[in-house]
Amino acid sequence: MKASRAFVAALLAMGLLAAACSNGDDAAPAATGEGATTAGSPTSATPTTTETSDSTPEQTLDVPDPSLDELPTDDLPSGVPGESPDAEIAVTTSLPPGSTSSVPVAPEFVTPATGGDPPTAVLAPVSPDLKIRYIVSPHPDDEFEAWSMVAGDTTHYIVFILLTRGEYSQYCDGSGISELQGDRAERFPEPQPFTGQGTEGCSQQRLDAWRQFLDTRGGVESAIGRPGFLGQFDLDVPLSGALPSRVDVTGERVPSTQYLLWVGDKSARFAFDFGDRDLSINEVLVGVEAVRALRTRVLPIAEEDDLVASAYFNDEFDPSIRYEHPDHKVVQAVIRDLDFGMPGPQWGRTVPEDPEVAATLEVPPALYCAVMCVEPEPIDPLANPFAFRTGTLQETYGWLAPTYWVGAELPSGSIFSRVQPYWRRF
């Protein structure tokens, strides 16, 4: 099955979702029973094929729904206010380094590829009984918002799908990490120096932090392990499909049709670059369906189970933290409202006050501390700013907060809460 099938979205599905975004309508049909939706007919996310004429059509760049511009684009709240001082600006680009994995890769990809098609699967799964669970995140760091769907899971082959690089974070100017914070074990992202919002350097730094977080957790969480980095590859975009795009540092909209790929015997990672604060409905659909189409070629496991929107979004319920980033809204809307035809459910992070909570999972306390703790406690950057960052998230993503990230049991205290509720669809 060619990855190009992912690039022609079902017109009915796109119309339905665009209308929901334009109206600001996040309401979904009331759940019954185990949280499944019964009201109305689900919209299929299965791509359709568009016929083209003999003449060569001009490809267009995909753009998000204009109504999403009205939503705030603030960084995730860390628990303390912060300011952004001036920082040195430079330009640097590089592909992320290979992980420290011992997982073998095909000999021709020991030096990572920089284009073309990906290789066929080169290793066996740790168990033939695993089924794929997709974890879909809009930005690097959002993966921990659904870590309860990852932690200790020995029944799934976890596939992390990253849709943007988060390159418009205000902390890409370096204001989130001082010498003091570095002395307290916050890791400076690579490459250095900081280059500012929207730059290629910022994109690479956020991607580096994402890779480092997953590599570190994979080194101690045997359920996911550390996949090997294979390289950068091209999406097969048909002439009849809109090109995924992003807005570069000059303000120009440019095509973005490549992805980075890591594959291991327990997990895999796909990193797209569809534009921070610029993610469209079609691009979410394209990213998920491209990975699904590629799974039979590049992954050691082909059998699927379920799909998870690891994108905290709350514009309605108190006392849980409100967060309304447009990229999070779009990821939630697509996975909530479109039926991808998965054997298992489609899940999305929500808050305890949501009446559509279908499951509430917890990150085990010891594991949560390994990710979020500081020494000494409490995990409170306002009352305890000088603590050493001992948790993986604090070490690798601490530079994205003015001090470090607040930790809490519930979403009323932290987006990165230990207790993680989910809605369920299909």
Can you give the pLDDT at residue 121?
74
Distance, C-alpha 257 to centroid of its chain: 17
- Domain residue extents for the chain: 3-26+63-425
- CB distance 87 to 329 below 8 Å: no
List Cβ neighbours of 99 (8 Å cut-off, separation of 6 or more).
211, 215, 226, 227, 228, 229, 262
**What's the pLDDT score for residue 313?**
97
Counts of helices then strands in the chain (DSSP H, E): 7, 18
Tokens of 184: 């307290």
Residue 214 exposure: Cα atoms within 13 Å on the Cβ side = 34
Q: Are 303 and 132 spatial neighbours (Cβ–Cβ below 8 Å)? A: yes
Contact 154, 322 (CB under 8 A): no
DSSP of 93-121, one letter per residue? Answer: --PPPPPS------GGGSS-EESSPPPPP
Give the largest Cα separation in the chain, rounded.
Answer: 69
Of 152, 125, 68, 127, nearest to 334 (Cα)?
Answer: 68
Residue 251's pLDDT is what?
Answer: 87
Cα angle for residues 251, 8, 39 (degrees, 5° grid): 105
Q: 341: Cβ–Cβ under 8 A, 6 or more apart, which residues?
A: 44, 45, 46
List the pLDDT tens digit at each of the 426 positions of the chain. Answer: 444 434 344 433 455 455 445 443 333 323 333 334 333 345 666 443 344 444 445 677 777 777 767 667 677 777 665 433 333 333 333 334 444 444 444 444 455 666 778 878 778 899 999 999 999 999 999 999 999 999 999 999 999 999 999 999 999 999 999 888 989 999 999 999 999 999 999 999 999 999 999 999 999 998 999 999 999 999 887 676 788 999 888 888 999 999 999 999 999 999 999 999 999 999 999 999 999 999 999 999 999 999 999 999 999 999 999 999 999 999 999 999 999 999 999 999 999 999 999 999 999 999 999 999 999 999 999 999 999 999 999 999 999 999 999 999 999 999 999 999 999 999
Distance CA 104, CA 141 (A): 27
Q: Given this model, what pLDDT does residue 163 score?
A: 98
DSSP alpha helix (H) spans, 221-260: none
Supply 20's token pair. Answer: 């929901």
- Which tokens belong to 12? 């009915």
The structure tokens listed for 4 are: 């190009």
Residue 95 has a pLDDT of 39
Pairing state between β 258-263 and 359-362 = unpaired
Would you call 209 helix, strand, or coil by DSSP?
helix
Closest CA to 389 of 178, 231, 193: 178
